[in-house]
Amino acid sequence: MYNVMVVEDQAMPRQLFEAFIAMSDKYTLVHSIKNADMADIYCEKSEIDLILMDVCTELNSNGLDAAQRIKQKYPDIKIIIVTSMPEFSYLERAKKIGVDSFWYKEVSEEPILSLMDRTMAGESIYPDKTPDVTFGLIKSSALTEKELIILRELTNGDTNAEIAEKLDMSQYTVRDYIQIIMEKTGFRTRTELAVRARASGIVIADKK
Amino acid sequence: MMSFFSLPEYLQYTVVFFCLVTLVVNIYSVVSCVIFEAKKRKLNLNLLLAAFTSVLFYLFASVNFVYRKSIKGQSLLLDIFSEYGWAFMALLALLSVLSVLSLYLVEKWKREHITPASIKEGIDRLPAGLCYHNEKGVPKLINHRMDGLCRRITGEPLFDGNELWRRLTKGEVLPGNRVEKWGENPIITLSDGSTVSFTKIEREIGGKKLYEIRATDITKQYALNLELQRNNNELRSLNTRLQEYGENVYDITREREVLTAKVNIHDMLGKALLVTKRFIESGDEGITKEELIDMWKGTLYLFEGGFKESSEDGSLDELYDAAKLMGISLNVKGQIPSDNRLLRFIMSGARESLTNAVHHAKATELTVTLYYEYSFFVIEYTDDGSGPSKPVSEGGGLSSLRQSVESEGGIMETEIFPQFVLRLKIPSKEVKYV
């Protein structure tokens, strides 16, 4: 039997994960919490083998930050990131941290229990790419990494000058990139672009 | 040898007239040298030429006059001119050539040099106002524009540069004018709607300390600046709305997740019912009894707990649970804020304090004190354990907490005596005085 902790702020998805665990003979639910910031504390005194960790949890705590702390302190604990956000940087960051597997809540075809089994068997399972969502006239995959990075800053409500300073580039380059994204997507204003980008979830501004 | 008197009468007069013209040229050159402050050598040369020409003119005029009037007693002068008239004429020719040459040089010098008069004329034509004054405020050079501005702003002519600057920087202007900005770089909108910016610079000119007050018409720039400010404010408000919308997007995504969860629960229940029905009817639907039981375990789990559609944000329940798990009694003093941002800092600080309390201090109780101090919300953590004997070196947890606090404009402090205290001061929208 493996001890599992669920870190998910939404009650119903959390209950669903708990139900899946209850259905299996291989797993026991030891903790089910809403705030990723508390996750490593729970690992301190409990024997935990596997964590199902959402990225955006209660009080804007970040599951990836928590996963990083846990992997540093308890590298043997397996972690599966579960998210519905198609933000492209999450996949990369999860790999970099050493997260064992990654599961998209809405689009992953493999049942979560099967993914948990394979992860506990030592496999590292990652989707090939982020879910492709429609974004204006194009699919999100048509945007380059650089365009997505600038789009993320744009959704944060930053001006061109602020984006340029953050990303160490000129204001004119930022302006040109935004213009190119608007031409690709067909959105007419930067506000519309930012709002649609936010709503689609292809970029999630880092909230510190 | 040719005598002066052997010349026809009209030529004698011509020579005298020629001498007069040369003298006039000399005088003009001398006056030019004086007015335009030419070098002394140039002035002296022209004075010398003028002196020689004057003497020569006097001699020619006198001889001519004496000769015409047949005045007695002047026979010596007549004799000299009868004998050496050609020499005087040659001298006159030489002086004339030198005078013309000198005039040319003086004129050339004038073209190549700026005189004080030119400077005054030049600055009077400038669109900007200029005033140079000494330390006592005595004006040394003022242009028409600055004098006009002074009269319109103070109602008086510009007599004292210091007094003008004092009035400008204090915003003491005549009614009808509007002070847009006072202080070191005053900006004033005049009654005619034009906007003028004033600056004062200390300069050293010719070894003397002078102050330059400059007035620049910035009517267009100021109007554009105001428009830019309006646009920036609009943009800022748009960005704020965008950020607020970003907060809502999390809710939208969560709602979508809940909906997906509902669909999955519905599918789970439907599948369990369908498989069970077929299992009962046919006894075998490709599923074992144990698998069917497991399927119902999960389904019943959902019903046992009851369905919760949303979670209540903003409680410290998990903090209490975590502390209990760590064997620490948590004591929270003060009012728990409703702002999620502050709650997150409480949780983050508590995580570090709990870890420290268990691993280093061997504490059994952690007290979290919450209060407002001016524009800060203060979160203070103290435990009942043994405080550290030396200053705390901030490892990964504390240093990332510090980074997160400071990125919000807050302050993180630690104390080690008499017990360990971690204090987070987070800027708050609420301002409360204690």
Q: Given an 8 Å threshold on Cβ–Cβ distance, is B310 in contact with A11?
A: yes
> Half-sphere exposure of residue B251, counting CA atoms within 13 Å on the CB side?
8
Closest residue in A to B353 (Cα) is: A41
Mean of all residue pLDDT scores within chain A: 89
| Mean pLDDT, rounded, for B187-216 | 91
Nearest-angstrom CA–CA distance, A128 and A107:
12
A74-88, B187-201, B278-292, B417-431: the lowest-pLDDT one = B278-292
| Cα B96 off chain centre by | 63
Global confidence as pTM:
0.58
Which of A99, A194, A161, A38 has the alpha carbon at shortest distance from B320?
A38
Higher pLDDT pick, B347 / B117 = B347
**ipTM of model over 0.90:** no
Higher pLDDT pick, B147 / B385 = B147
H-only helix segments in B129-218: 144-154, 161-170
Nearest-angstrom CA–CA distance, A54 and A14:
10
Q: Given an 8 Å threshold on Cβ–Cβ distance, is A12 in contact with B308?
A: yes
Higher pLDDT pick, B188 / B362 = B188
On chain A, the residues whose CB falls within 8 A of the CB of B407 are 208
Q: How confident is the model at residue A51 (pLDDT cuts 50, 70, 90)?
A: very high
Which of 3.30.565.10, 3.30.365.10, 3.40.50.720, 3.40.50.300 is the CATH number of B317-432? Answer: 3.30.565.10
Place of tokens 């990332």: B400
Nearest-angstrom CA–CA distance, B7 and A13:
132
Classified by CATH at the fold level, domain B118-217 comes out as Beta-Lactamase (3.30.450)
Q: How far is CA B217 from CA A153, B128, B141, B191, B230, in A?
A: 39, 7, 20, 14, 21
- Confidence (pLDDT) at B308: 62
Rg of chain B taking only CA atoms, in angstroms: 51
Q: Given an 8 Å threshold on Cβ–Cβ distance, is B347 in contact with A37?
A: yes
Tens digit of each residue's pLDDT (9 = 90 or more) over B21-71: 999 999 999 998 888 777 888 889 999 999 999 998 888 888 877 776 666
Q: Given an 8 Å threshold on Cβ–Cβ distance, is B242 in contact with A195?
A: yes
Helix, strand, coil shares of chain A, percent, nearest 5, are: 50, 15, 35
Among B242, B261, B297, select the one facing A13 at the smallest CB separation: B261
H-only helix segments in B113-218: 116-124, 144-154, 161-170
Query: DSSP 3-state assignment of B131?
Result: strand
Identify any residues that bridge with B371 across adjacent strands, giving them in sequence order: B378
Nearest-angstrom CA–CA distance, B405 and B423:
11
- Confidence (pLDDT) at B250: 67
- CB pairs below 8 Å between A and B: how many? 151
Q: Strand A101-104 vs strand A134-135: parallel, antiparallel, or unpaired? A: unpaired
- Are A116 and A51 contacting, i.e. CB atoms less than 8 angstroms apart? no
Tens digit of each residue's pLDDT (9 = 90 or more) over B96-105: 999 999 999 9
| Mean pLDDT, rounded, for B113-129 | 84
Helices and strands per DSSP (H, E), number in chain A = 9, 7
pLDDT of residue A159 exceeding 90: no
Q: How far is CA B256 from CA A18, A106, A201, in A?
A: 19, 9, 12
Look up residue B114 and give its two tokens: 């700026």
Among B249, B257, B321, select the one facing A105 at the smallest CB separation: B257
Instruction: Give A132's contacts (C-beta < 8 A, 6+ positions apart).
Output: A86, A139, A140, A141
Q: What are phi and psi of B370, to 5 degrees?
A: -115, 130
pLDDT of residue B411 exceeding 80: yes
Q: Given an 8 Å threshold on Cβ–Cβ distance, is B313 in contact with A35?
A: no
Instruction: Give B428's contacts (C-beta < 8 A, 6+ positions apart).
Output: B339, B342, B372, B375, B376, B377
Domains of chain A and CATH, by start:
2-120 (3.40.50.2300), 134-200 (1.10.10.10)
| Mean pLDDT, rounded, for B68-86 | 71
Burial profile A118-127: b = 16 or more Cβ within 10 angstroms, e = fewer: bbbeeeebee
Closest residue in B to A20 (Cα) is: B298
Nearest-angstrom CA–CA distance, B243 and B241:
5
pLDDT of residue B434 exceeding 50: no
Higher pLDDT pick, B305 / B369 = B369
B46-55, B194-203, B379-388: the lowest-pLDDT one = B379-388
Place of tokens 């919300």: B377
- Confidence (pLDDT) at B352: 87
Place of tokens 């490709």: B286
Q: How confident is the model at residue A147 (pLDDT cuts 50, 70, 90)?
A: very high
Q: Given an 8 Å threshold on Cβ–Cβ distance, is B318 in contact with A69?
A: no
Closest residue in A to B401 (Cα) is: A208
Closest residue in A to B319 (Cα) is: A38
Angle value at C-alpha B350, between B344 and B352, nearest 5 degrees: 110
CB atoms within 10 A of CB B234: 10
* Burial of B128: CB neighbours in 10 Å, binned 0-12, 13-18, 19+: middle
On chain A, the residues whose CB falls within 8 A of the CB of B311 are 9-11, 14, 34, 58
Q: Given an 8 Å threshold on Cβ–Cβ distance, is A37 in contact with B245?
A: no
pLDDT of residue A130 exceeding 70: yes
Angle value at C-alpha B188, between B183 and B194, nearest 5 degrees: 155
Question: DSSP assignment of B375-386, as one string?
Answer: EEEEEEEEESSP
- Confidence (pLDDT) at B35: 81
- Confidence (pLDDT) at A208: 45
Q: How far does A164 lie from chain B, in Å, by closest CA?
A: 16
Instruction: Give B18's contacts (C-beta < 8 A, 6+ positions apart).
Output: B92, B96
Q: Given an 8 Å threshold on Cβ–Cβ distance, is A12 in contact with B265?
A: yes
* Burial of B19: CB neighbours in 10 Å, binned 0-12, 13-18, 19+: buried
Q: How far does B270 lie from chain A, in Å, by closest CA?
A: 15
A167-181, B99-113, B121-135, B296-310: the lowest-pLDDT one = B296-310
Interface test with A, best of B266, B351, B359 (most A CBs within 10 A): B351
- Confidence (pLDDT) at B433: 47
Closest residue in A to B408 (Cα) is: A208
Nearest-angstrom CA–CA distance, B103 and B85:
27
- Confidence (pLDDT) at B266: 80
Closest residue in A to B313 (Cα) is: A58
| Cα A88 off chain centre by | 8
On chain A, the residues whose CB falls within 8 A of the CB of B341 are 60
| Mean pLDDT, rounded, for B321-336 | 89
Interface test with B, best of A198, A202, A203, A208 (most B CBs within 10 A): A198
- Confidence (pLDDT) at B196: 94
